[in-house]
Amino acid sequence: MAIRKRVLTSFMRNVPLLAVSQALMISAMSLILATSALVGIALAEDKSLATLPVALLAISAMFTSIPAAMLMERIGRKRGFVFSTLFGVAGSLLSFYAILESDFWIFSAGCFLVGIFNGFGSYFRFSAADAVDHDHKSRAISYVMAGGVIAAFIGTNLANVTHTMIDTAPFAGSYAALTGFYLLSMLTLSFLKLPPHLASDESGHLPEERSFGVITAQPKFRVALICGMFGYGVMALIMTATPLAMTHHAHPFDQVAFVIQWHLVGMFAPAFFTGSLIRRFGVLSVMFVGALLGIVCVVTNLLGTSSTHFWLALLLLGVSWNFLFIGATTLLTETYNMAERGKVQAMNDFSVFTTVAVASLVAGYLHYQFGWQAVNIGVLPLLLLMLISIVWVAFKGEKNKASKRNIGHELADASKETIRVRID
């Protein structure tokens, strides 16, 4: 009873704070995603580099993921999170200055600094999962991710309102406003009260830490990694290229902001019930539907370039990402114990952000050189790979269950035979 009460207290205190922090981080990200490619194409001499700033944001998050995990294992996640907000403040101010000075490379450096904060912030969902028991993990992850629903309306609307604030420097006002998000994040995160980073078992001993080889050999781990990487990568590639494609097809910025806004709704609104869907239908079923929705998104983009096509495709893309990412995160938490969490989570997020960085970097190049259709056709093999991997681990799981049932029947028959022999 005492353990249940402690878990409930941790859930009620930490999950809302982490959800608010997630909302602030994604609000800032939504503003950057809606504007960075347009700022890039205005400032860069080589227009194929337009998506480099958002790619650098992902690259810095990638390189930060492992050091962030190691630092927070040493000083605690709360201190690590609060410390990371300083990079967000510095990055937003530097980006603001770069736009005023029309300097593409300084703007890229500002986005790089913001990415460091995102590298730490990617552990918000894991912090929520690690603060509760097994039965509440998927729900805790979902609630934290649901904080992004607020971001769908705050970030893009703020970008729309502030992008003409300074006439001589479009979007400069948007990046000045980012500073407020990171200062609010610092305040919110200071109220966290997370449990100790390692949990002992019932005998009072810390769980045994296994090697990477043993952990990565688990089918669940492999599928969680594949779907986490490519689910995020597909989303990043299409989403990063969308503002460029819409601008190319003469859609005004308010329409671009509207499409990104509803993409974010698709990304985070389902989180209110994704955890419940996972508990009811199973994590693999939810992930399978997520991959299918990704294919429907691609088909929608290939059918036309009206604002309605962009809106519907990006909404479907958001839901696809939600099911795949929350599902993959939930599945990953089933593959490690608390002694292993730091290295496993770091390896996972490093792999995910590496994929996102590559996707963001090539998005501008693919669109500039080959066009919008090539961007969409290029992600189909990744979506098919995710579908195949999910089916594979589901089949393997059913096979193992059948094997265990057979072993159980054999043991029962052997016991009955032993009893019969003794009676005889």
Over the stretch 273-302, which tens digit does the pLDDT of each residue have? Answer: 888 899 899 999 999 999 999 999 999 999
Instruction: Quote the longest CA-to-CA distance of the chain.
Output: 99
What tokens does 196 get? Answer: 């100790």
Segment among 265-269, 331-335, 405-409 with least mean pLDDT: 405-409
Count of C-beta atoms within a 10 Å radius of residue 1:
5
Torsion of CA 218, 221, 223, 227, to 10 degrees: -170
Sequence-distant (6+) residues with CB within 8 A of 167 are: none
Least confident interval from 101-115, 122-136, 366-380: 122-136
> What percent of the chain is predicted at pLDDT more than 90?
41
Q: 114: part of which helix (H) or strand (E)?
A: helix 104-121
Residue 200: predicted pLDDT: 46
Confidence class of residue 83 from pLDDT cuts 50, 70 and 90?
very high
Q: What is the pLDDT of residue 306?
A: 94
For the structural domain made of 2-191+212-423, what CATH number should be given? 1.20.1250.20
- The total number of residues shown for the chain amounts to 424
Comparing CA positions, the residue from 296, 346, 350 lying closest to residue 320 is 296
> For 208, which DSSP code?
P
Structure tokens at 100: 């005023």
Q: Is the pLDDT of residue 404 over 60?
A: no
Average pLDDT over residues 332-348: 86
Secondary structure element (H or E) that encloses residue 63, with its range? helix 52-75
Average confidence score pLDDT of the chain: 84
pLDDT digits (tens, 9 = 90+) for 311-325: 999 999 999 999 999
Q: How far apart are CA 330 and CA 130, in angstroms?
A: 11
Other Cβ atoms less than 10 A from the Cβ of 73: the count is: 17
Of 118, 131, 31, nearest to 81 by C-alpha is 118
For residues 392-416, give the mean pLDDT: 59
CA-CA distance, 32 to 9, in Å (whole number)?
35
For residues 124 and 21, is the Cβ–Cβ distance under 8 A? yes
The listed range with the strongest mean pLDDT (24-33, 216-225, 250-259, 333-342) is: 216-225
Separation of alpha carbons 133 and 207, rounded Å: 16
Record the tokens describing residue 418, joined without a space: 């032993």
C-beta neighbour count of 47 within 10 angstroms = 12
Higher pLDDT, 145 or 246: 246
pTM: 0.73
pLDDT above 60 for 421: no
Nearest to 141 by CA among 29, 239, 277: 277
> What ranges do the domains of the chain cover?
2-191+212-423
Non-local CB neighbours of 100 within 8 Å, separated by 6+ positions: 166, 169, 172
Residues contacting residue 302 through CB under 8 Å, at least 6 positions apart: 373, 376, 377
DSSP per-residue string spanning 166-189: STTSTTHHHHHHHHHHHHHHHHHH
Per-residue confidence band for 144, with pLDDT thresholds at 50, 70 and 90: confident
Confirm if 261 and 151 have CB atoms less than 8 A apart: no
Question: In this structure, how many other beta carbons lie within 10 angstroms of the beta carbon of residue 408?
Answer: 10
